[in-house]
Amino acid sequence: MKKKFVSITLALVLGLSLTACGNSGGGDKAGNNANTEDTDNKGDAEEPADDGGSDAAGSDAAGSDASSAANKDKPLVWFNRQPSNSSTGELDSAALNFNKDTYYVGFDANQGAELQGTMVKEYIEANIDKIDRNGDGTIGYVLAIGDIGHNDSIARTRGVRKALGTGVEKDGNINSDPAGTNTDGTASVVQDGTIEVGGKKYVVRELASQEMKNSAGATWDAATAGNAIGTWSSSFGDSIDIVVSNNDGMGMSMFNAWSKENTVPTFGYDANSDAVAAIAEGYGGTISQHADVQAYLTLRVLRNALDGVDIDTGIGTADEAGNVLTDDVYVYREEERSYYALNVAVTADNYQDFTDSTKIYEPVSKQLDEGSHATKKVWLNIYNASDNFLSSTYQPLLQNYDDILNLEVEYIGGDGQTESNITNRLGNPSQYDAFAINMVKTDNAASYTSLLSQ
């Protein structure tokens, strides 16, 4: 029995829930009735469709639990965008400690960034004979930056600059600002690096980099990256020996627009299925951020909090079904309330193992028993329904795990630009047992927690 609430079925949901309201004589309605805060009809009308009685006993229990807990005390997981200051990167510890059941799930951005930089560097070294396309002794690369205020994006820009020797220090760290155009090597945010292979020295230059933000404000924008490579290649195409991107969405857009045809190796991040498949056609490589582990952790921490069990259950400690993760795939940092999946480089050597990015991770693939893990309702948003990674990799994984963990998840897709487009759809938090939030901007946690605190 699949119970999934997808936002595009909202019309249907509205229709059915009106019926459900009319018929509400028991079942999980008990929960809503008991909820004295839920007095506006708007909230009831937004109620998910299949509350009409199919949930059986499990949900009744869920309903009463949910209704007795104040929204501010319900389990909350931030994922993919860590509550933090988008200028300084400083973690927003108020948001990360919103209540005792609040966590963040993401991945180790620095470890992944280092892997990405090393992957590019090793590719250059291994292909030194053919990499310098115009033979000028300078290995030129262009860089697509996702979001200058997103810590994953910042880390990846730094990782590439560090490995290639093009980074410049600023306030004790590598400057991650976009360089704009730097074909003459005079930009101040980067410098020329050198790489020595077989006794021969080459200059490495970041020819250009920019944040791929569209005019409406959406970041990590693949179409913008496709346009940028068009502009760059038409003015200095011969000098571009390598294309690097903060993610595969933008990387694949540049690959398809230009680098594939011009056999210029292009490197991304995320190991989306299309990017992994493109390795066979000359895409240089990508990094798996172990989305299969992250998606599991995102829902698992909620499941554990809802069950009132130790947070490590089914994570570092096997649950009764046998689900468990080993410490080579994630780390937990208690002081940051954060779980971080570990990254793996995906190149021509191993890409065959990564062809389906939506496949769940086998060690945590066992179904939980509904008797002891009653069905619960989760409100979950994706900051941008068009984000390649979140829509083609992360959400399909979540949808696989929600069944296994007996969670009824309502998936909300944002426009990638405005927080209110999403928060407007958290009109009645009382109808959910737990929340999973992917902010548009990492500074905006309070827009959500204020709704839960009302």
| Plot region of 47 (φ>0 → left; ψ -120 to 50 → alpha; else → beta) | beta
Rule CB under 6 A: say whether 313 interacts with ligand BGC. no
Q: For the CB of residue 444, give the shortest distance to ligand BGC in the complex, in Å.
A: 13
Q: Are strands 407-413 and 434-437 parallel, antiparallel or unpaired?
A: unpaired
| 401 three-class SS | helix
Taking the CA of residue 311 as centre, how many other CA atoms within 13 Å lie in the half-sphere pointing to its CB?
18
> Using CA atoms, how far apart are residues 61 and 367, in angstroms rounded to an integer?
20
| Binding residues with ligand BGC: total (CB under 6 A) | 12
Among 31, 63, 249, 265, binds ligand BGC (CB under 6 A): 249
The order of strands in the sheet holding 407-413 is 5-6, 407-413, 376-382, 434-437, 76-79, 102-107, 338-341, 330-333
Site for ligand BGC in 336-365 (CB under 6 A): none
Binding mask 78-97 for ligand BGC (x = CB under 6 A): --xx----------------
Q: For the CB of residue 110, give the shortest distance to ligand BGC in the complex, in Å.
A: 13
Stretch that binds ligand BGC, among 66-74, 209-217, 302-310, 384-392 (CB under 6 A): 384-392
Q: Nearest Cα to 383, choosing from 414, 411, 427?
A: 414
Choice between 59 and 294, CB closer to ligand BGC: 294
Among 60, 387, 433, 443, binds ligand BGC (CB under 6 A): 387
Alpha-carbon 304 to chain mean position: 21
Choice between 269 and 332, CB closer to ligand BGC: 269
Among 258, 389, 401, 435, binds ligand BGC (CB under 6 A): 389
Q: Nearest Cα to 36, choosing from 68, 72, 8?
A: 68
Residues ≥6 apart with Cβ < 8 Å to 450? none
Among 220, 351, 401, 435, binds ligand BGC (CB under 6 A): 220
Choice between 27 and 416, CB closer to ligand BGC: 416
Choice between 101 and 270, CB closer to ligand BGC: 270
Q: How many CB atoms lie within 10 A of CB 440?
A: 25
Which spans of this chain sit near ligand BGC (rule: CB under 6 A)?
80-81, 146, 152, 220, 247, 249, 269-270, 387, 389-390
